[in-house]
Structure 1
Amino acid sequence: MSPFYLARSASKVVRRITSETSAELKILSEKWRLLLAGLVFQYIHGLAARGVHYLHRPGPTLQDLGFMILPELGKERGYISETLFTFVFLSFVLWTFHPFILQTKRFYTVLIWRRVLAFLCASQLLRIITFYSTQLPGPNYHCREGSPLARLPPPQNAAEVLLINFPSGVIYGCGDLIFSSHMIFILVFVITYQKYGSIRYTVNLVVFFVDKKLTELPDRSAGLTSMLPVTVKDKDSKLKEENTRLLNGNSGDSADRRPRTQMNGKHIENGNHAESQTVKT
């Protein structure tokens, strides 16, 4: 690979980063309020999780079908869960900034983080409401009876509550159950990638299976009859045609038959003026 080619490629990358940064900064200058609110709410969510830790009381582990089907990893292999979450988190963050370098641009980084933070805030607000409404004994090892981290001592000052120790304050929390914060992040990240990513294997496989097994949805603009099978539509059209004939006074047996009209007890038939006197009893 020649130095000229490397210099040319580097120049293209620099120009692309510069142009993308200029465009993103322009969007950021208009959309920064919601981004800032979402970041601030992440801190509020951390404070809420730390606050419920003060209320946590260890107790017997509750029965859970998930743990019966998938046994726990064990205390010595607890790092696997955090490692997997960290990998997914960092991969997603790097992916959201790939338009600065790669040419396959499907979104603006500022706008996609606005949507991600909006979903995170809504989900975390529901999570805060649930774990303050129902406080369950934590099943993790550091939340069980006998662990020094199962209960937090009463705070001595406001700074002790407002300052969140990272990462121990996030990893070793207790009482913030009902649904997991890690799962919220993973679901939001995965769904966002499935919607805006360029390679979506899982969703493509599901769509292929559904399209293979189920028929395509009909277009409702043509009315209800377009949604019916062919035999039903034929039968329905025949019924409509027969009803039209009856309304017009025509039947299938005699198409040239004219409607009858009754006037003052006398009948006029087939357009003739021959009158038939009604019989009175």
Structure 2
Amino acid sequence: MSFYIGREASKLWKRICSETATEIKLLAQNWKYILGGIIFQYLHGLAARGVHYLHRPGPTLQDVGFYLLPELGPDRAYISESVFTVVFLSFFLWTFHPFILKSKKIYTVLIWCRVLAFLVACQILRIITFYATQLPGPNYHCREGSKLARLPHPDSILEVLLINFPRGVLYGCGDLIFSSHMIFSLVFVRTYHKYGTRRFVKNCAWSIVVIQSLLIVASRKHYTVDVVVAWYTVNLVVFFIDKKLPELPDRSNGAAALLLPLSKDGKREENHKLLNGNSGDSADWRPRTQINGKIMEDGNIVHVEAVINGV
């Protein structure tokens, strides 16, 4: 038993080391996109903090969701946040599963490049909308009489830049249309729906997002319009941006396929043929034997040097 455990642990460690080396190479090529996406998350939080200074509490607007869904109350408002935390952590861990599991359909760095691109595009639209019109917040701490409903004039620019994290994020007001929680959840679920492998998990993920939508309204964190606008805006943004971005490489073709560039006409098939020692001509699809980095053909040794470029 101990021998089996030791052997499996050795395999796992080799897999982690190999995957780490690959991801580091990808990170070296795409670090600007990752860093830019992370910086924009801070800018999005800064914008949400800024609109809180403009927020003016008032009567809660008439909302059909408030009539149909029972109010959870401030004591149970944590339920929607708990569901969102589960969605966020589950997706985050899934993006790192190639380091542990044998299933290697995605590359962690490349998947986060796409996710951050979707988030940034949606958040830009969100910033525009909640600065265009400030609605009275329906959340309990945003109502008239609450000390958090209005922010006093900042004493210094540093107070604004620090955004009072995380309290300033959890108790913000005015950044309503459209829901930030729904942006993250829909981007995560759509990404897993495309690149995930388990249909049952996909169905559960979509069901959880629907439940989260109802809980957000029931906890009075957003109006129904904030959730509805998020549903069609995020899906449309992801749909159009996903068509513009280069497709992720298919790991089922081997590790070398990762670093093969697409040809001008968008076909990767010809590159695979050349790498395998076959020409583009179907008549030249002859079997070749590879020995120690050399390809044997009709008894002659042909040295092949493949130059691999990053995606």
TM-score by length of 2: 0.64
Task: Please give the residue correspondences for 1:43-58 in structure 2 after superposition, counting only pairs within 5 Å.
Answer: 43-58=42-57
The aligned residue for residue 80 of structure 2 is 81
**Given that residues 51 and 131 in structure 2 are in contact (C-alpha distance below 8 angstroms), is that contact kept between their aligned partners in structure 1?**
yes
* Offset from partner CA, 1:112-154 (integer Å, 9 cap, x none): 0000000000000000000000100000000000000000000
The aligned residue for residue 173 of structure 1 is 172
The aligned residue for residue 59 of structure 1 is 58
How far apart, in 2, do the equivalents of 1:147 and 1:60 lie?
A: 13
Deviation at 1:204, TM superposition (A): 7.2
Aligned-partner SS, 2:42? helix
Deviation at 1:51, TM superposition (A): 0.0
Letter in 2 for 1:39: I
The aligned residue for residue 121 of structure 2 is 122
1:15 aligns with 2:3: no
Deviation at 1:183, TM superposition (A): 0.6
Deviation at 1:71, TM superposition (A): 2.3
| Structure 1 vs Structure 2 CA RMSD | 1.3
1:104 aligns with 2:106: no
* Offset from partner CA, 1:185-205 (integer Å, 9 cap, x none): 000011111111111237679
How far apart, in 2, do the equivalents of 1:203 and 1:10 lie?
A: 30
1:93 aligns with 2:92: yes
Aligned-partner SS, 1:153? coil
The count of aligned residue pairs is 204
Which segments of 5 or more consecutive residues in structure 2 lack a partner in the other structure? 205-311
Letter in 2 for 1:165: N
How far apart, in 2, do the equivalents of 1:112 and 1:149 lie?
A: 38
How far apart, in 2, do the equivalents of 1:88 and 1:4 lie?
A: 38
How far apart, in 1, do the equivalents of 2:197 and 2:95 lie?
A: 12
The aligned residue for residue 153 of structure 1 is 152
Deviation at 1:168, TM superposition (A): 1.1
% same residue = 71
Letter in 2 for 1:166: F
Letter in 1 for 2:50: G
Against the structure 1 CA distance between its residues 86 and 203, is the aligned structure 2 distance closer, same or farther, given a 3 Å change threshold?
Answer: closer
The aligned residue for residue 209 of structure 2 is none
The aligned residue for residue 137 of structure 1 is 136
* Offset from partner CA, 1:35-84 (integer Å, 9 cap, x none): 11000000000000000000000000001112222222111101111111
Which segments of 5 or more consecutive residues in structure 1 lack a partner in the other structure? 206-281
Aligned-partner SS, 2:154? coil
Structure index of larger Rg: 1
How far apart, in 2, do the equivalents of 1:203 and 1:28 lie?
A: 28
Aligned-partner SS, 2:155? coil
* Offset from partner CA, 1:223-272 (integer Å, 9 cap, x none): xxxxxxxxxxxxxxxxxxxxxxxxxxxxxxxxxxxxxxxxxxxxxxxxxx
TM-score by length of 1: 0.71
Task: Please give the residue correspondences for 1:131-280 in structure 2 after superposition, counting only pairs within 5 Å.
Answer: 131-201=130-200
Aligned-partner SS, 1:63? coil
Letter in 2 for 1:5: Y
